[in-house]
Amino acid sequence: MNFLKNILSTLVALIIFSVVSILIFVAVIGSLADEPPVEVKSNSVLHLKLDKPISEVEFDNQLESLEFLPSAPSTIGLVQLKEAIVQAKTDEKIKGIYLDAPYVMAGMAVLQELREALVDFKSSGKFIVAYGEFYTEPSYYLVSVADQVFLHPEGDLEFNGLGANVTFFKGMFEKLDIEPQIFRVGEFKSAVEPFIRKDLSQENKLQINEMLSSINSNLLDSISTGRNISSDRLKAISDGMEVRNPQDAMALNLVDSLYYFDQVMSVLKQNAGIEEDKEIEFIKYNKYNKSYSNYKKADSEIAVIVASGDIVSGKGDVNTIGSENFSKEIRKARKNDKIKAIVLRINSPGGSFLASDVMWREIKLAAAEKPVIASMSDLAASGGYYMAMACDTIIAQPTTITGSIGIFGMLFNAKGFLNNKLGITHDEVATGEYSNYITMTRPLTDQERRIIQNDVEKGYETFITKAAEGRGMSVEAIKSVASGRVWTGIQAKERGLVDMLGDLEDAIAVASEKAGVSEYRVRYYPKQRSLIDQIMQDLEGESSAKVLESELGEYYNYVEQVRSVQRMNGLQAKWPFELEIN
């Protein structure tokens, strides 16, 4: 009887799986049906609607439109977005850009690269018009590049300086009767502070304050150029929060007019030479980038390998840098004779010290055979810097957050929680004195603590020794800027941790010069996952994460922070934990 039940259950499962597979297949084929070629009409306006997260390279989730299959959201790629702007600059059919970016989801360094591309576009004599019902501070930094900035008459413009928010969990652990056992080197290694404090240490306040001041100064200088207002005046406006309503923003010349949408459309028609009774030929970015090809035939290639996310051991995923897969990409690029140079595009807060060292070795091997250039994006801190220091040249944006050269380790003693809250007890039997020293069921002994602390200190010495070697500095000089201290790109360059300030294009130019090639094509790695891979991964982890996010709403970030602790196996080289800049 049980045998028949098992057979029947298996058959039912197979039928259900087959039906679901067919539904997915039909829906995918329907959604991927051949689209007609995109034609750009005369007097078109490129509509840059930045309503998705901006990632280093575009992630096009072809399953996103399938409502019955939760999946990771698509992103706007910085690389592809800049290519579209460059193309539009010389495209006779494009008269200008309509910048629709009230709330951009990107870091300051990414926004700076995008802003610089828009500055270059303006050199063509074509217009940029920006409009929003509201602007966040990062958004305003971006749109201030426009020839005309319009704000809704009842809208809002945030212009009151940068702030940082750090979440602390010590109180929660106290209530749960869980003891974090911390091991670290360096007074600035503040990634563990949320677990052992309820507020910021003086050292952490110092570095965050100096970092924010450096980033804010860079932002104000750029806005000053765009709006023709002195940086000192902008700082006074920001410090005093003189913008309290839309009328203040206009009176202070931060915006040009307070317009409704139809009024902005009239301005766009005038700028594009379109009669008032005619419609504007808008072409959205995701359509425009299908109207041209950047393919370039060349014997030589420069490989841009993107490293974005937390650093973990193993394969990783779309949101993490897995040492196994990343090392594989570096190895293939090293052995490929067509690839004359490598650019590492790093956007990472760090992570596993072991995984960082695994990748460091592969980068060093590649650098021994061909030029390897580091291009830092928003973040290249701790483990992210560990990767960069193996490169020939390090290039950062002024607002890049980098450094954080330090190590920490963490174990939780959950004995109180298990015993007092759940009534669970443990006992031990072991063949050796230290057989059970990695445990969460009791506090560590003094000797066990010394063993782990020695490992942390050894890891720190390895970090600074390799940093000194990579930067051509003495260990003492590296130590003076280490101890887990975080720097902006400007500060890092002043201290020898970075060679020059610039963007990804600058890094590619340096790579081609060092490789001695003038004719080359640029290719980005790793390549986007195939459709089948997307389906399988979305059916596994990513879909559950999206469902969880939809259920928890604003509390999802807190859950993610706690879940990230689970990834902190072994020694960690990571920057201050979940610092939110706003």
- Among candidate residues 82, 189, 370, 574, the one labeled active-site is 189
Q: Check: CB of residue 303 under 8 Å from CB of residue 333.
A: yes
Q: How confident is the model at residue 16 (pLDDT cuts 50, 70, 90)?
A: low
* End-to-end Cα distance, the chain: 64
Q: Check: CB of residue 312 under 8 Å from CB of residue 322.
A: yes
**Residue 335 a catalytic site member:** no
What is residue 534's predicted lDDT score, i.e. its pLDDT?
47
Task: Assess whether the region 44-159+243-288 and the region 301-410+469-581 belong to the same CATH fold.
Answer: yes
- Among candidate residues 214, 375, 382, 512, the one labeled active-site is 382
Lowest mean pLDDT among 188-192, 504-508, 552-556: 552-556
Q: Give the pLDDT confidence of 91-119 residue by residue, as tens digits.
A: 999 999 999 998 899 999 999 999 999 99
What is residue 340's predicted lDDT score, i.e. its pLDDT?
97
What is residue 5's predicted lDDT score, i.e. its pLDDT?
56
Write down the domain spans for the chain. 44-159+243-288, 301-410+469-581
Mean pLDDT rounded to a whole number for the chain? 86
Token code pair at residue 36: 């007609």
How many other CB atoms are there within 10 angstroms of residue 316's CB atom?
Answer: 21
Check: pTM over 0.75? Answer yes or no.
Answer: yes
Least Cα distance to 370 among 340, 415, 333 occurs for 340
What is residue 582's predicted lDDT score, i.e. its pLDDT?
61
**Residue 382 a catalytic site member:** yes
What is residue 57's predicted lDDT score, i.e. its pLDDT?
87
Pairing state of beta strands 94-100 and 127-135? parallel
Domain 44-159+243-288: which topology? 2-enoyl-CoA Hydratase; Chain A, domain 1 (3.90.226)
Q: What ranges in 32-131 are assigned the alpha helix state H? A: 78-90, 108-122
Least Cα distance to 461 among 446, 474, 479, 477 occurs for 479
Token code pair at residue 171: 């109180």
Q: Give the pLDDT confidence of 301-349 residue by residue, as tens digits.
A: 999 999 999 999 998 887 899 999 999 999 999 999 999 999 999 999 9
Beta-carbon contacts of residue 337 (< 8 Å; ≥ 6 apart): none
What is residue 294's predicted lDDT score, i.e. its pLDDT?
79
How far apart, in whole angstroms, are the C-alpha atoms of residue 239 and residue 220? Answer: 12
What is residue 37's predicted lDDT score, i.e. its pLDDT?
73
What is residue 532's predicted lDDT score, i.e. its pLDDT?
47
Q: What is the CATH number that goes with domain 301-410+469-581?
A: 3.90.226.10
